[in-house]
Amino acid sequence: MTDSVKLTMQTLRATDFKHWLATFWLVKRKLSQQQARYSVLKVDTDTSLEQKLKQAVTSKILDTDYQLQAYDFLTADQDKGLLTIDSAATDVTLIQAEIDKGTANQKVEQYQDLLDSWAMVIKLEHQEQAVYAYRKINKFNHSTRLSHISFIQFKDKELKDLDEQAIFTLDTQIDFFSYQGTTFISNKREFESALNFRAGMEQNRDVVLQEFVDLNIFSDATLLKQHIGANLNYLRKVSSIQKSGYYKDAKFMEELVKVNSEKNWGLQVENGVIVINEASIELVLTLLNNGRLESPINHEVFDASVKKKVS
């Protein structure tokens, strides 16, 4: 994580949001061949709700218990951590471009317009500055699911049926927000779900597996691709492998083969090329992630899916 990202957050936390305007947007998403297309609807709100939405965003920003950490595909439990990623590496830039069209966007005119939305965005803006805060839409706002739900209110000592009213549930927990080219993530799972990160990781899988073959690391990566498939855990691992890029370092690969032989780790290597089999796939993913680590204290050896480099 760069110093500029830290400075961005410091600036944001020092901001007085009193005169910032809050607007509310719904995001519709369509998938075509794993590519997402987004459109947005402007939703008018009363003063009370506008203040509640604004408070939801500013309370997340101003909570100094949240510590910054660079986003990685393999990340430990966040527990009051804000993961940071360049917005240009995500779909938020596409969504924000739609929101920034302003009055050119359609407004919500009837209840049905609210349903089947993918996400909601609260935009705070003042002069040339803007914060975009995102939340994945609650499942009770999808039309097919609403048909099986009854909304009940307890009033005057009895339960009353609200089915005849236009109910829209709103969860103002913020999954992530973007400001000045950086996205700050408080809920990694919902962030990845809302922005279709699985498709990006599947692309990473295909790229890195082809590079394995081109670099003559494996004679054939077909079995590895079949094993990884669309499994999110394996997609994270292979995306992390691509990001770290150890496999592109010839010396690293030479040392991997050498240590594998010395430590009897079980990789089958023929003429410097790793031979993939069912039993070795997990080991391959671990070693290419540089995830087999030895304690300098008692020399125990661990496979670590999540690790943090000590500077």
Determine phi and psi for 20, rounding to 5 degrees.
Answer: -80, 140
Helix 197-214 / helix 232-244 crossing angle, nearest 10 deg: 60
- What pLDDT sits at residue 292? 93
- Give long-range contacts, CB 8 A cutoff, 24+ apart: 38-41: 38/91, 38/94, 38/95, 38/98, 38/118, 39/98, 39/105, 40/95, 40/98, 40/99, 40/105, 40/121, 41/105, 41/106, 41/107, 41/108, 41/113, 41/117
- What pLDDT sits at residue 163? 63
Helix spans in the chain (H): 3-13, 47-62, 92-99, 111-114, 143-146, 188-194, 197-214, 222-228, 232-244, 250-263, 281-288
In the three-class reduction of DSSP (H, G, I as helix; E, B as strand; rest coil), residue 250 is classed as helix
- What pLDDT sits at residue 178? 97
Instruction: Chunk the chain into consecutive blocks of 10 residues (it has 311) and report each block's average pLDDT, rounded to whole numbers.
Output: 89 95 95 85 94 95 88 77 92 95 93 89 96 85 60 74 70 93 93 84 91 89 89 91 94 94 92 88 93 92 83 63
Rounded Cα distance between 123 and 28, Å, is 16
Task: Tell me the two tokens of residue 149.
Answer: 């739900």
Rounded Cα distance between 42 and 113, Å, is 10
pTM of the model: 0.82
- What pLDDT sits at residue 36? 86
Determine phi and psi for 120, rounding to 5 degrees.
Answer: -120, 150
Segments making up each domain of the chain, as ranges: 3-141+168-195, 199-303
- What pLDDT sits at residue 169? 79
